[in-house]
Chains A and B, each alone.
Chain A
Amino acid sequence: MGTFEFLLQGVTIAAQPMNLLYALIGVTLGTAVGVLPGIGPALTVALLLPVTYKLDPAGSLIMFAGIYYGGMYGGSTTSILLNTPGESASVVTALEGNKMARAGRGGPALATAAIGSFVAGLIATLCLAFIAPFVVKFALSFGPREYFALMVLAFVTVSAAFGDSTLRGLTALFIGLGLAVIGIDQQTGQARLSFGIPDLLDGIEVTTLAVAMFAIGETLYVASQGDRIPDKVEAVKGSVWMSAQDWARSWKPWLRGTFIGFPIGAMPAGGADIASFLSYSTEKQFSSHKDEFGKGAIEGVAGPEAANNASAAGTLVPLLSLGLPTTATAAIMLAGFQQYGLQPGPLLFATNPQLVWGLIASLLIANFMLLVLNLPLIGLWVKLLTIPKPWLYAGILLFATLGTIGANPSVFELGMLLAFGLLGFAMRIFGYPIAPVVVGLILGPMAEQQLRRALAISQGDVSALFLSPIAAVLFVLAILAVVVPLILRARGKGEVLSQFAANED
């Protein structure tokens, strides 16, 4: 069967009434939570994971797909109407979008973001459907050492290549890897770093860590900053519809953004931030209204938003076809798969094609739903933005603890939540990125397994790791990804890289 047949089969699964309902609930919840200021896509997905605990795997993953796309969309609404520099994935959207909203053109800004997200989501999801099978075929030739090299590359790009400090990125990664060691060793059954505490034998839950660091750490940080940053919600005045000129100025950036965003998401090269920044600078180059940039140019909303969403779909290529999470959001989605004992990767395409293709098809459906839902419901999302800070953060903590209590109602688990929250807070103060910790925790055991397999095959000979051409190339790329940014920063060109800081998406 070709990709088309598989995709059609997927559509028939995703179009079953129950699954449509799951997708609808997913996009609505995803958008509603994603709209809340300070909540990025990673936290949206982590907070909403408990909603899916009791569903069957297919229904749960379909709802997940909706939550993921909804969360991405919600973030852009926030950054257009509320100038929140803290929101990472759509910071760029805020640059022009918030200016447009202040100038009373919030409606068209939201519309171009929504339609751009739709166009990008549609094209990128189709690209995902057609590229993933090829990656799967390629990946079937991978042995343990190639997988290990690929994971090392992912570690390095998530932690060291972008952001403002190689040191702090790598430190965050190693903290994640250290946490990943905790628990029973998969191969020998020995307890590591558990100090005789039975609760630690199962290891650290990825969702507990992610929720603690993103939700509790962020809440504590915002609280510690006092009332220094006044938030002002821009009202949406006038029509939400775009004029003919808006359309003419938007469609090219949408397409360019899509083709910038998708490959960046699909390579293990970090997240949507990089894509949206690149798209922004590209639009600045191409625009015939250069003078409007910085004052509310619609191209500066259309392009990055499209890039943002295309990259979100691109991230699913390594996640589904290789089982490799390259962003914090993907790491949490992987945890979502694992709670059903599903391991994404080449095998999942062979053993459970209905599930994989149902998921891809439901991404397409979720994308349509978002387009139909969001523009009419914009008034509701604006209301969510005006929730006063005390109630907002009290609610965030309520839902953050709810997920942990629902999964494991023990004092110990809540204690870990608090401890990791404090760790996230401290890391936030000193400028450490959070995403590498989460990726390190989930990818660490997988990388260890591949490493030990590879070394078992080579009978302990480490040099064998580098003897496969694919692995060698991947290792060289990984080394370059550490060294080149170090040199760039040493020569004072670090600003460019710190703009690309992939903090959360």
Chain B
Amino acid sequence: MSGIPSNERRRPDRAALVIAPVLFAIAALIWWDAGRLAEMSNYSRIGPATVPHVVAIGLALLAVWTGFEAWRGDFPEREPIEVKPVVFIVAGLAGQMLLLKTAGFSIATGALFALTAFGFGRRKLWISLPIGIAFSFVVYIIFGRFLQLSLPAGPLEHLFF
């Protein structure tokens, strides 16, 4: 995902060149999985494997085309990417995912909220974390209590309900 700025046109775009094998690998995966199916239902020509085969062939062709365009440097120029904020936000999402069951909705989502704000430059976690937890708790009351979505409860939610 590192953006390599290509100043001259018609120069291989190395980052984009990676896409081609990835697409090809996905195509191979779909083909392999469909092959497993075809064995189970080989008495008719049209079965569950037909469409996966078509999709796999399509992706393989697109992989070749992608490789060709990337080699010629036909992909649009990319803005340079700042990786740090992305890492913080992904950490927030991963954190919420792992905390959800044990810490409950409000605390887990509060962590996501604070880390996202951190990624966007609000570095004062001692302010943003309580705000995030309080806000998530209000959302929990509205959606979990009034609209009856099943949001996981944790220590904070059990304290009140």
Residues of B with C-beta under 8 A to A228: 79
Task: Name A223's contact: one of B58, B75, B113, B119 (CB within 8 Å).
Answer: B119
Interface segment, one of A99-107, A138-146, A449-457: A449-457
State whether the Cβ of B69 lies closer than 8 Å to any Cβ in chain A. Answer: yes
A405 to B153, CA, bound (A): 12
B82-A224 in contact (CB<8A)? yes
A408 to B79, CA, bound (A): 36
Query: A51-B147, A418-B94 given as contacts; is B41 within 8 A of A188 (CB)?
Result: yes
B48-A174 in contact (CB<8A)? no
Residue ID in chain B nearest A185 by CB atoms: B48
Residues of A with C-beta under 8 A to B107: none
Interface centre among A223, A414, A460 (most CB of B within 10 A): A223
Question: How many residue pairs at the A-B interface have CB separations less than 8 Å?
Answer: 188
Task: Name B65's contact: one of A167, A223, A397 (CB within 8 Å).
Answer: A167
Contact residues, B75-91 vs A (CB, 8 A): 75-76, 78-79, 81-83, 85-86, 88-90
Interface segment, one of A302-310, A343-351, A419-427: A419-427
Contact residues, A156-174 vs B (CB, 8 A): 164, 167, 170-171, 174
Residues of B with C-beta under 8 A to A418: 90, 93-94, 97
A415 to B101, CA, bound (A): 14
State whether the Cβ of B141 lies closer than 8 Å to any Cβ in chain A. Answer: no
A429 to B16, CA, bound (A): 10
Query: A397-B112, A397-B116, A411-B98 given as contacts; is B3 within 8 A of A226 (CB)?
Result: no
Residue ID in chain B nearest A173 by CB atoms: B58
Query: A224-B85, A411-B97 given as contacts; is B116 within 8 A of A390 (CB)?
Result: yes
Residues of A with C-beta under 8 A to B117: 390-391, 393-394
A192-B34 in contact (CB<8A)? yes
A193 to B109, CA, bound (A): 31
State whether the Cβ of A225 lies closer than 8 Å to any Cβ in chain B. Answer: yes
Query: A219-B116, A431-B75 given as contacts; is B66 within 8 A of A167 (CB)?
Result: yes
A216 to B30, CA, bound (A): 26
Contact string against A for B residues 4-18, beta-carbon threshold 8 Å, 1 for contact and 0 otherwise: 000000000001100
Task: Name A216's contact: one of B51, B93, B105 (CB within 8 Å).
Answer: B93
Residues of A with C-beta under 8 A to B150: 406, 409
Residues of B with C-beta under 8 A to A224: 81-83, 85-86
Contact string against A for B residues 56-70, beta-carbon threshold 8 Å, 1 for contact and 0 otherwise: 001100100110010
Contact string against B for A residues 217-261, beta-carbon threshold 8 Å, 1 for contact and 0 otherwise: 001100111111000000000000000000000000000000000
Residues of B with C-beta under 8 A to A394: 112-114, 116-117, 120, 128, 132
Interface residues of A, count at CB 8 A: 61
Contact residues, A421-474 vs B (CB, 8 A): 421-422, 425-426, 429-431, 444, 448, 451-452, 455-456, 460
A230 to B30, CA, bound (A): 44
Residues of A with C-beta under 8 A to B128: 390, 394
Residues of A with C-beta under 8 A to B155: none
Task: Name B76's contact: one of A164, A399, A405, A448 (CB within 8 Å).
Answer: A164
A426 to B139, CA, bound (A): 30
Interface centre among B46, B122, B148 (most CB of A within 10 A): B46
A430-B86 in contact (CB<8A)? no
B89-A397 in contact (CB<8A)? yes
B151-A190 in contact (CB<8A)? no
State whether the Cβ of A267 lies closer than 8 Å to any Cβ in chain B. Answer: no
State whether the Cβ of A398 lies closer than 8 Å to any Cβ in chain B. Answer: yes
A170-B62 in contact (CB<8A)? yes
The smallest C-beta distance from A240 to any residue of chain B, in angstroms, reads: 31
Contact residues, A180-220 vs B (CB, 8 A): 181, 185, 187-188, 190, 192-193, 216, 219-220
State whether the Cβ of A371 lies closer than 8 Å to any Cβ in chain B. Answer: no
The smallest C-beta distance from B47 to any residue of chain A, in angstroms, reads: 7
Interface centre among A177, A402, A444, A452 (most CB of B within 10 A): A402
Query: A167-B65, A224-B85 given as contacts; is B48 within 8 A of A187 (CB)?
Result: yes
Residues of B with C-beta under 8 A to A192: 33-34, 37, 48, 52
A174-B59 in contact (CB<8A)? yes
Residues of A with C-beta under 8 A to B59: 171, 174-175, 178
Task: Name B48's contact: one of A188, A220, A460 (CB within 8 Å).
Answer: A188
A223 to B46, CA, bound (A): 47
State whether the Cβ of A337 lies closer than 8 Å to any Cβ in chain B. Answer: no
Query: A178-B55, A224-B82, A398-B136 given as contacts; is B96 within 8 A of A430 (CB)?
Result: no
A406-B149 in contact (CB<8A)? yes
Known contacts A181-B55, A393-B116; 12 further A-B pairs (Cβ under 8 A): A50-B143, A171-B59, A174-B59, A185-B48, A190-B48, A395-B135, A398-B136, A402-B151, A405-B152, A414-B96, A429-B3, A456-B46
Provide a sorted-by-A list of 30 A–B residue pairs whose CB atoms are within 8 angstroms: A53-B147, A53-B149, A54-B147, A167-B62, A167-B69, A171-B59, A181-B30, A181-B55, A185-B37, A188-B41, A190-B48, A219-B116, A224-B82, A389-B121, A390-B121, A390-B128, A393-B116, A393-B117, A394-B112, A397-B93, A401-B112, A405-B152, A406-B149, A406-B151, A421-B93, A430-B76, A452-B46, A452-B51, A456-B46, A460-B45
Give chain A's interface residues, CB within 8 Å of chain B. Answer: 50-51, 53-54, 164, 167, 170-171, 174-175, 177-178, 181, 185, 187-188, 190, 192-193, 216, 219-220, 223-228, 389-391, 393-395, 397-399, 401-402, 405-406, 409, 411, 414-415, 417-418, 421-422, 425-426, 429-431, 444, 448, 451-452, 455-456, 460
